[in-house]
């Protein structure tokens, strides 16, 4: 590649003008010849800077309602010409095509139009043609030409130009070209995704702008990055850098806490709830959630769905925890939580989670719909002679929400809108149940009158038998086993109420 190249000519055609004035003034002060179009040309001239219209260069006006402005050999020839090629140079001279050393162009806001619910015709008009072509041409010829494809790079470009006395180095130009291809590929992916909503072409494309380095991966020797807009979801008010495991637990906590309308606190450990409770006040919810498993709660991720007040913060502060998530914090409550310098404190914003879920598997990616099913009392089918009481129905709904967000095989035992114990991630459903029963006993809970939720059906009646003998009074499960009737028969013989939902909640 050649050395530092002075910028002698530039083409500017942008949708967003914010921050462009400094660049225009700098280019003008360095004697750079500027070409421009439409609104950008008017903007430049209002700054008192002279510029040549692209129409005067090409001899053609903007046509087809602005669809064709820069698509002309006199524009693209000056961008794509190889400066070291004598043949290219002769053709530029023959056809009176000026060289273009710098291209500053952005793209019509296609994604914004889609997000705002614009009509299809309006969205189609936001598919940029000239801009994307200019970006690709300039990036391809980065040996000789520099390109800026986003207003986010205006300040960076200006800094480069000043550092290099109005020129750009080969490294500068390649870096800018890479950024430009990042912009163009993301743009094309967004357009494809929009069209493919109805066509369903089997092709996976996902492009995410924005990245947040994580403290480390699943283990300290693994590097990790989160690709996404974390700041759109949370404001980090305090604490150290977030790790990969923190992020997994934050995801699990957010998905779980969204299931509840009443004041609720959840304690997440390794993606599973080890404590959860709903109560009239947040402090009561915290106290009940922690009682479920005060041992596992150590080092966990805490999430609630109400402003975290001083009284609750004083109790939370007694526990070592990695992350606290709340929609808001009282000023004195936040001050208390900040007493632990490394504690990550997140204020959750209002945001939507993707409807689809993707996961790398083997040499590819598996994509599925998120499990958004939320079963209510209307979704319950009573299959036993004994019917759950109104209080038990509420506990069954509560337990079913928890088991939905637990690693399979999973069993959840609950009473009074409190997680009594959970058996999660077991290879046997019986083992999951026994683990939950043992855990409940170890923390002094009585299971008399408690309810049980299972993420999948019971292949045999052993689970309901074990649960009944431990004191469980009502059961919720999907149903669907060829042996369902055996479980129903045992419940009928022993006065246990059972309801089915028809919805399995495996989570791996």
What are the catalytic residues? 140, 270
Identify whether the C-beta of residue 349 lies closer than 8 Å to the C-beta of residue 233.
yes
Query: What is the C-alpha separation between 336 and 312, in angstroms, rounded?
Result: 10
- The enclosing H or E element of 196 equals helix 170-199
CA dihedral 248, 252, 257, 260 (to 10 degrees): 170
Query: What is the C-alpha separation between 292 and 288, in angstroms, rounded?
Result: 7
Query: What is the C-alpha separation between 191 and 123, in angstroms, rounded?
Result: 10
Query: What is the C-alpha separation between 487 and 481, in angstroms, rounded?
Result: 10
Q: Longest Cα pair distance anywhere in the chain, in angstroms?
A: 98
Q: What are phi and psi of 108, to 5 degrees?
A: -55, 145
Residues 6+ apart with CB under 8 A from 32: 7, 8, 9, 10, 102, 166
What are the Cα distances from residue 203, in Å, to 192, 197, 294, 353?
10, 12, 46, 22
Residues 6+ apart with CB under 8 A from 115: none
Identify whether the C-beta of residue 422 lies closer than 8 Å to the C-beta of residue 411.
yes
> Please, which contacts does 305-311 make with residues 24 or more away whose CB atoms are closer than 8 Å?
305/257, 305/258, 305/260, 305/261, 305/263, 305/264, 306/263, 306/282, 307/282, 307/333, 308/282, 308/333, 308/334, 308/337, 309/282, 309/283, 309/333, 310/336, 311/283
Residues 6+ apart with CB under 8 A from 274: 267, 268, 292, 293, 296, 297, 300, 419, 422
Query: What is the C-alpha separation between 376 and 88, in angstroms, rounded?
Result: 72
Q: What is the DSSP letter of 263?
A: S
Query: What is the C-alpha separation between 244 and 223, in angstroms, rounded?
Result: 9
């Amino acid at each position: 590649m050649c050395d530092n190249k002075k910028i002698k000519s530039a083409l500017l055609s942008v949708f967003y003008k914010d921050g462009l004035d400094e660049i225009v003034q700098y280019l003008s002060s360095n004697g750079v010849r500027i070409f421009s179009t439409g609104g950008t040309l008017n903007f430049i001239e209002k700054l008192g800077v002279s510029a040549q219209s692209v129409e005067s260069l090409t001899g053609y006006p903007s046509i087809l309602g602005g669809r064709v402005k820069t698509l002309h050999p006199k524009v693209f020839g000056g961008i794509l010409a190889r400066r070291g090629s004598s043949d290219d140079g002769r053709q530029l001279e023959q056809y009176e095509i000026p060289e273009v050393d710098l291209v500053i162009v952005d793209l019509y806001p296609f994604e914004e139009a889609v997000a705002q619910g614009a009509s299809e015709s309006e969205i189609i008009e936001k598919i940029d043609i000239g801009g994307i072509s200019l970006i690709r041409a300039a990036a391809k010829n980065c040996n000789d030409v520099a390109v800026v494809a986003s207003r986010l790079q205006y300040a960076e470009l200006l800094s480069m130009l000043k550092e290099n006395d109005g020129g750009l180095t080969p490294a500068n130009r390649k870096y800018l070209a890479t950024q430009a291809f990042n912009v163009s590929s993301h743009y094309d992916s967004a357009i494809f995704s929009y069209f493919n909503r109805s066509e369903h072409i089997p092709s996976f494309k996902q492009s995410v702008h924005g990245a947040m380095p994580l403290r480390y991966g699943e283990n300290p020797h693994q590097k990790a990055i989160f690709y996404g807009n974390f700041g759109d979801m949370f404001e980090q008010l305090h604490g150290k850098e977030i790790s990969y495991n923190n992020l997994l637990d934050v995801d699990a906590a957010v998905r779980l806490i969204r299931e509840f309308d009443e004041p609720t606190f959840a304690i997440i450990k390794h993606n599973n709830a080890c404590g959860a409770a709903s109560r009239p006040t947040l402090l009561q919810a915290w106290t009940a959630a922690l009682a479920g498993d005060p041992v596992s709660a150590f080092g966990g991720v805490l999430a609630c769905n109400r402003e975290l007040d001083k009284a609750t913060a004083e109790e939370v502060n007694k526990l070592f925890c990695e992350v606290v998530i709340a929609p808001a914090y009282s000023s004195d409550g936040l001050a208390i939580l900040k007493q632990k310098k490394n504690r990550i404190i997140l204020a959750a914003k209002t945001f939507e989670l993707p409807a689809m879920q993707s996961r790398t598997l083997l040499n590819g990616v598996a994509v599925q719909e998120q499990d958004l099913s939320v079963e209510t009392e209307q979704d319950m089918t009573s299959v036993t002679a004994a019917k759950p009481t109104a209080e038990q129905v509420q506990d069954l709904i509560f337990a079913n929400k928890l088991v939905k967000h637990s690693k399979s095989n999973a069993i959840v035992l609950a009473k009074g809108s409190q997680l009594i114990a959970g058996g999660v991630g077991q290879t046997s459903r019986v083992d999951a149940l026994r683990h939950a029963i043992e855990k409940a006993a170890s923390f002094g809970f009585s299971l008399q009158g408690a309810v049980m939720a299972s993420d999948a059906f019971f292949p045999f009646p052993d689970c309901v038998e074990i649960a009944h003998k431990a004191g469980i009074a009502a059961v919720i499960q999907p149903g669907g086993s060829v042996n369902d009737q055996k479980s129903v028969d045992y419940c009928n013989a022993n006065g246990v109420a059972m309801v089915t939902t028809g919805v399995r909640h495996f989570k791996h």
